[in-house]
Structure 1
Amino acid sequence: MGKTRKISTDDVLDAAERVVVRLGAVGLSIDEVAREAGISKSRVVYDFKTKSGLLNALVERRIRIDRERVAESVRQQRDSDNPPLFGRLTAAGALTSDSERAVALAICAASSHDEGVQAQFRQCTADDLTEVTREAKRPRASLVAYLAFYGLTIMEYFDLHQWSEVERAGLLQDIGTMYAAFPEI
């Protein structure tokens, strides 16, 4: 008798991301994820209930991974004028992978019809805005710099434009300079 293969929730979500990279948001289905993970459709349904549940789990995981990465960068920037802002700028220094962009695009496409995913995005954005401005010595400069950072990030995630590593680093540095030079009202 063979060993039963243990599949974790993360294994299923990894399979879902591979499906999204290969087939896009339209191709994301419980059947396709089960096939990719090598498990039964009933296992995916048991874990996630619906395609919407699977999508919500993908978003939750992406947000968690990003927040962990940002939290580490914020800790590294604890001596800066605004650790939450400069932590995000530092974390954004790494180029976005093709896989991350594909997943982000698919999630956004699918989220246009999913209130749960939209609510997660809204909450994540509200949390970011609060963190970047709450204890800032210069809240307006922090907000404007965050908006510039977010615009750069969204352009890359939506594959509207990709900067080279050098250009990206320069732009992130420019956002920091803009923060420092911004007149606080």
Structure 2
Amino acid sequence: MGRRRTIDQGEILNAAERVVARDGAARLTLDAVAIEAGISKASVLYDYKSKQALVAALVERSVAADNAFNRATIDSLGSVANATIRGRILAASEPLPEAFRSVALNLCAALAQDAELRQTIQHNQSAVIADIMTSSSNPRGALLAYLALEGLKLLESLDYHSWPKAERGRILREINSLVDLQPVADPPLLAPAPG
């Protein structure tokens, strides 16, 4: 009797990412992933009981990889002030690779339609923001820098806008300067119209 081939969950998720990048999250099926991975549908079903479970695993893996990449960059700075936010800014020095951008764009479409799937991102963002706020000497400036950084990354990952390399570098330097921005006493959101 032949030995049963062990199927690595990473291989299944790699195949699912290729399907999402090529066909979009809406067309992701367990059959398509099985074909892409060169395995049976039953093998996919063994680990992922539904399309939602497969997409959830893709989201969790993407979040874990992003967190690991950011953590490695933060740790590379050593013991500098505001390391968490400064490391995240440094980690964004290069735009997302094109291959990941199409996966991110398609996963965002799936997340927009499923509140349960969004919880992974929501919990992660809450943890990141809490870390930035507690590890920064100027929490408000660090928070503004993070919001600006995430806005830049979101515009790029959703393919809404991209900047030439020199301009992008300048934007990141300006975001970095927000970390040291001193808070102002609660100004009104809109200045009153001149009289």
Which of the five TM-score ranges fits, normalised by the shorter chain? over 0.9
| Distance of 2:42 and 2:4 partners within structure 1 | 16
**Secondary structure in 2 matching 1:161:** coil
1:30-68 Cα shifts (integer Å, max 9, x gaps): 110111001111111110110000000000100111111
Kept after mapping to 1: 8 A contact 2:73/2:88: yes
Is 1:69–2:69 an aligned residue pair? yes
**Structure showing the higher helix proportion among its residues:** 1
| Distance of 1:133 and 1:90 partners within structure 2 | 18
Q: In the alignment, what sits opposite 2:151? A: 151
**Secondary structure in 2 matching 1:134:** helix
Query: Which runs of 5 or more residues in structure 1 are unaligned?
Result: none
Matches within 5 A, 1:130-141: 130-141=130-141
| Distance of 2:144 and 2:43 partners within structure 1 | 46
Matches within 5 A, 1:124-135: 124-135=124-135
Greater shift, 156-165 or 36-45, is seen at 156-165
Query: Which runs of 5 or more residues in structure 2 are unaligned?
Result: 185-195
1:85-124 Cα shifts (integer Å, max 9, x gaps): 0110111112211221111111111112323311001001
* Amino acid corresponding to residue 164 of structure 2 in structure 1: S
Q: In the alignment, what sits opposite 1:184? A: 183
* Amino acid corresponding to residue 131 of structure 2 in structure 1: E
Q: Which has the larger radius of gyration?
A: 2
1:115-146 Cα shifts (integer Å, max 9, x gaps): 33110010011011101111311011011111
Identity %: 36
